[in-house]
Chain A
Amino acid sequence: MPGREHRCAALGLMATLGIGFLVLAASQTQAQKRQKAPPVAKEAPHTQMQEVTREQQPGAKEAVQADVSARNVAVTSSFNGIEIVIFGAVDNSQQSSAESGYYDVMIVVEGVPGRIVVRRKNNVAGLWLNTSSATFDVVPSYYAIASTRPIDEITTEEFRASHGVGFQHLRFTPAFGQTQALSTEDLKEFREAIVRLKEKQGLYIQDNFRVAFIGKSLFRATIELPANVTVGPFETRVYLFREEKLLSQYTVRLNLEREGLERHLHRFAFGYPTLYGLMTVAIALAAGLIASTVFRRAAH
């Protein structure tokens, strides 16, 4: 058998793959650099913050302003969740110190709403299998509430219902054209299951004492976006309350985007699935042939 030619062919394949990996690796490190550098540069609210401390006038109407530590988060191959710092300040703060508890702040971070299927297992002849399901639309992929005190002490029930704040007020709507007709109680159970499972996955978070004032007008909170979070735009809403009354509200957006190798592979897999499949097969064939050549030579 012409072993020499096979070895040459395998070496050629190895070289091609090697170069391919180097190119991919290079694009990835670039993406990581991009991820690390810009968030600091992009935060420009320092000027605003200085104004806040300058304009303290008693009796004037309070307003809240806020920003997040990273407005653009790159999801690269090394992405393993991220902690976001949300900070803000109360304009014309009337409170005497950080500890006075004069104001209450509530922060809601919401991911892209999407369609979700909930399934329920049943025991059929001794075996557990999914027998019923419900599909909901407008289910936020991520939902976190952080506040200075429990939200039912800060806000009224009407407020929470009208603003869709709190797990029980999320506006999941049963998708049109459900295959199974479901009773109201079933729907309620399915809805609760979504919240419970999302909480377990760290995608729905409620923390009643996460927001802390660190001065008479400055406050901050940290919120975790776990590794399994869905990429896309996130809306961060900051509410300022005084005795259950909404004084001011502020909205910041943050964006999670695939970058580098991660972005290329994902786009390739979902945008050109056939080509992607063929590439995977080519990699598999090359890997197998290279391995057999390398190990056969090592054995001799």
Chain B
Amino acid sequence: MHFYLPVAEMSANILIFLAMGGAVGFLSGLFGVGGGFLMTPLLIFSGIPPAVAVGTESAQITASSVSGAFAQWRRRNIDFAMGTVLLAGGIVGSVLGVQLVGSLRRLGVFDFFVAACYVTFLGVIGTLMLIESVNTMRKMRGGTSVSSRRSGQHMWIHGLPLKLRFQRSKLYISAIPPFLIGMFVGLLAAIMGVGGGFIMVPAMIYLLRVPTNVVVGTSLFQIVFLTAATTALHASQNQTVDVALAVLLMAGGVVGAQFGAVAGERLKAEQLRFLLAALVLMVGLRFAWQLIAPPADLYSIGAAVGGA
């Protein structure tokens, strides 16, 4: 069964994209991640123009993270003050990112840039996660308890002005670091078609020292609004959001995520992290291959974007 995508301007097999949404939804439910870093590459490799893949995927992340954010809100796990500062930065970053996508497309290096971003971030994060999960597994076997959060350390971050009180996080810190982190994540979200949770969560834990119980909720809250803004911006600035494709991915994704969440309860946290790390590295390597391997054809053609 085929569907002619109105913005991507190609005929797509409905079942393939539903299945793709389902599979990525399953993995995101399993690992508790947004899945953007898996879906955008899959879309690109299946022939969707990279810019359309990135724009459309931000719509799908909005859909998949809103239910999570809602659940976290009901459990009062969102620090709205922190979320708002992160979001403000995020939107600034997203505006910059969407502009950058436009310019890079005009220069014809957007595909390269996306691949390079994926290689860099997935490579670094995948390696860190792999090391961490292997260490944890080894320690668990050795029987020593794993200490979680070191708190009360003073860093240069605490000397910055514009201090705000973040009640839910029990923090009194400057608004500048969360704003900058939000901005960086917003930039990445716009360029890579991801929610940015994989950067946001570690940054909140290790840099801002937000208590882990509010990290996920606050990150999800920020992701919902950030990806919603990014979708609107991509649609209005670059016309690269395909609503038909987004609906297909959403439909597959929400169903897959439910099954993934059930399956996830049967695996141990460090096993999950190990598997996720392996997956992240595989996607990163696939992009690395694209950059290094000699292309089948040196030439490529495309419609002129924005007057070239």
Q: Determine if chain A interacts with chain B.
A: yes
Residue of B232, B291, B294 with most chain A CB atoms under a 10 A cut-off: B232
Give the residue of A77, A114, A295 whose beta carbon is less than 8 angstroms from that of B4: A77
Give the residue of B6, B64, B297, B308 whose beta carbon is less than 8 angstroms from that of A262: B6
B70 lies within 8 A of A133 (CB)? no
**In A144-195, which residues have CB < 8 Å from any B CB?**
175, 190, 193-194
B3-18: CB near A (< 8 Å → 1, else 0) gives 1101101110000000
Number of interface residues of A (CB under 8 A): 56
Cα distance, A223 to B67, chains bound together (Å): 49
A276 lies within 8 A of B235 (CB)? yes
Q: Tell me whether B295 is interfacial, beta carbon within 8 Å.
A: yes
A269 lies within 8 A of B239 (CB)? yes
Cα distance, A75 to B71, chains bound together (Å): 42
A118 lies within 8 A of B300 (CB)? yes
Q: Which residue of A lies closest to B235 (CB)?
A: A277
Give the residue of B71, B294, B299, B308 whose beta carbon is less than 8 angstroms from that of A292: B71
In the assembled complex, how far is the CB of residue A1 from the closest CB belonging to chain B, in whole angstroms? 5
Cα distance, A287 to B60, chains bound together (Å): 9
Q: Which residue of A lies closest to B254 (CB)?
A: A291
Q: Tell me whether A58 is interfacial, beta carbon within 8 Å.
A: no
Interface size class of B (residues with CB under 8 A): 35 or more
Q: Which residue of A lies closest to B255 (CB)?
A: A291
B228 lies within 8 A of A121 (CB)? no
Q: Tell me whether A100 is interfacial, beta carbon within 8 Å.
A: no
Give the residue of B292, B298, B304 whose beta carbon is less than 8 angstroms from that of A135: B304
Cα distance, A123 to B65, chains bound together (Å): 40
Cα distance, A39 to B108, chains bound together (Å): 41
In the assembled complex, how far is the CB of residue B195 from the closest CB belonging to chain A, in whole angstroms? 12
Q: Tell me whether B19 is interfacial, beta carbon within 8 Å.
A: no
Q: Tell me whether B62 is interfacial, beta carbon within 8 Å.
A: yes
B109 lies within 8 A of A130 (CB)? yes
Q: Which residue of B lies closest to A227 (CB)?
A: B11
Q: Which residue of A lies closest to B2 (CB)?
A: A80
Q: Tell me whether A59 is interfacial, beta carbon within 8 Å.
A: no
| A/B interface sample: 27 pairs, CB < 8 A | A75-B4, A77-B3, A77-B4, A78-B4, A115-B304, A116-B301, A117-B305, A117-B308, A119-B108, A120-B298, A130-B109, A135-B308, A193-B301, A196-B297, A266-B7, A270-B239, A273-B235, A276-B236, A276-B241, A276-B243, A277-B232, A280-B243, A283-B243, A284-B62, A291-B254, A292-B70, A295-B254
Q: A119-B108, A289-B67 are in contact. List 16 more A-B contacts (CB 8 A).
A: A78-B4, A116-B302, A117-B308, A119-B301, A128-B291, A130-B109, A133-B108, A196-B299, A197-B301, A266-B7, A273-B239, A278-B232, A285-B63, A288-B62, A288-B64, A288-B70
